[in-house]
Amino acid sequence: MRAVGRAAAVLLLALVAACGGYGADIAAVKKAETTPGVSNEAWANDIAGARGHVEWTAGKAAAYNNDDVVEVTARIDRPTAGGGRIHKIELHFIHNRQTAKIAVDSVVVDGRPQSLIGAALNLMLLQLE
């Protein structure tokens, strides 16, 4: 029985290490609503579409000198309708652990940083493809 307990503890530590201790930050950002009534996870999945893929990562926000400010990124691969090209979209969120506030920090579409208005327009155009 002790071997099973040790194996479970090792597995748990491996999972925590794999997430880098940011699993709770990713979960909080996914659950939050940047757009009222739509979770960030649903928003990212909507951008990806049925054939797309979303990968969530997190780490210390380089722009802030505070360990309680975490950058969470949704990397989205969205194939075009014809299937010949894949759009790469990154949604960067900031999660402040002290205040529990979450906000969109930046959006990158196909390697080009976007203003929030430009990002909204580009994401809308991707939906029309």
Q: Where are the domains of the chain?
A: 21-128
Cα separation of 113 and 59, whole Å?
A: 19
**DSSP 3-state of 9:** helix
pLDDT in tens, 80-116: 877 688 999 999 999 999 999 999 999 998 998 887 6
Cα separation of 40 and 29, whole Å?
A: 7
Whole-number pLDDT of residue 2: 57
pLDDT in tens, 40-78: 999 999 999 889 999 999 999 999 999 999 999 999 999
Fill in the amino acid letter for 111. Answer: G
Whole-number pLDDT of residue 17: 45
DSSP 42: H
Could you give the maximum distance between any two Cα atoms of the chain, in Å? Answer: 58
